[in-house]
Amino acid sequence: MKRSRNIRLVLIGGISAGVLTGCGPSNQPPAVSTQNVYTNNYHVPGVGYYHAPQRAFFPLPYNHYDAATHRYFYGGLWNTVPGVSITNVSSPTPEAASLAEAQRTDIQRGGFGQTSHYRSSWS
């Protein structure tokens, strides 16, 4: 009987060590914030590219050229000439930072699986 008890203690200890390891400091990239400055075309996975003159993120890089239409993309619009701005570093607006942080795919969210998706059969 003692042998079984020792095995259980080892298994429980191993499980708790695995759970607590996930609670330590993370290697996640820093949050998108109005306190940070970003260069033109800074990329955030799941969000897009930062356009410094517009202080917002867009799906394509600043001055992306489409050879089929002969147009340039910047500031969320297609134009016949490339964008020219002296602004190549800026901080995002509060709205852009908040939206980018919510959309990014390079960070892990939550910590205990699907517990936030609990559905009661009593409702």
Give, for 103, the enclosing helix (H) or strand (E): helix 94-103
Residue 2 confidence class, pLDDT cut points 50, 70, 90? low
Using CA atoms, how far residue 64 sits from 21, 26, 42, 44, 82, in Å, is 43, 34, 13, 16, 9
pLDDT tens string 99-110: 999 998 887 766
pLDDT tens string 56-94: 999 999 999 999 999 999 999 999 999 999 999 999 999
Spell out the residues 6+ positions from residue 50 whose beta carbon is closer than 8 angstroms to its own: 38, 39, 40, 41, 42, 43, 44, 56, 57, 92
